[in-house]
Copies of this chain bind each other. A is one copy, B any other.
Amino acid sequence: MNYQQAKIRADILKALAHPVRVLIVNALADGERCVCVLNELAAIDQSNISRHLASLKRAGIVSDRRDGMKVYYRLETPCILKAFECAVEVVRADTKRRNKDLKAV
């Protein structure tokens, strides 16, 4: 793998690497949602959610569709959810390891 290829992968991961964006992607797992609903995922300004959605869209992870006044976002590549499972596995393994280290003391 060369640097350019690594950068492409890194950019996708970076697009996912924020708590609010993780919440958004997770919420979209079951299907499309309008911004108004996603707004309630975290206690932050509406403009902020809008920007997070924009960066997910830029990365190709979600796409949007307007219906009247509302805009609906949906996952373009549900495989993204696997990346989360993996993250959980890292944390779980890490916790287990640290506990073992503690016992060894």
Cβ of B90 and Cβ of A12 under 8 Å apart? yes
Classify chain A's interface size. 35 or more
Q: Is A89 an interface residue (CB 8 A)?
A: yes
Known: A59-B90, A80-B90. A26 touches B13 (CB 8 A): no
**Main SS at interface, chain A:** helix
| 17 sampled A-B residue pairs with Cβ under 8 A | A6-B20, A6-B26, A8-B87, A12-B91, A13-B83, A14-B18, A17-B17, A59-B94, A60-B91, A76-B90, A76-B93, A76-B94, A77-B86, A77-B90, A77-B93, A79-B89, A80-B86
Known: A76-B93, A80-B86, A86-B80. A16 touches B10 (CB 8 A): yes
Contact partners of A86 in chain B: CB under 8 A? 12, 77, 79-80, 82-83
Q: Is A19 an interface residue (CB 8 A)?
A: yes
A19, chain B: closest CB distance, angstroms: 4
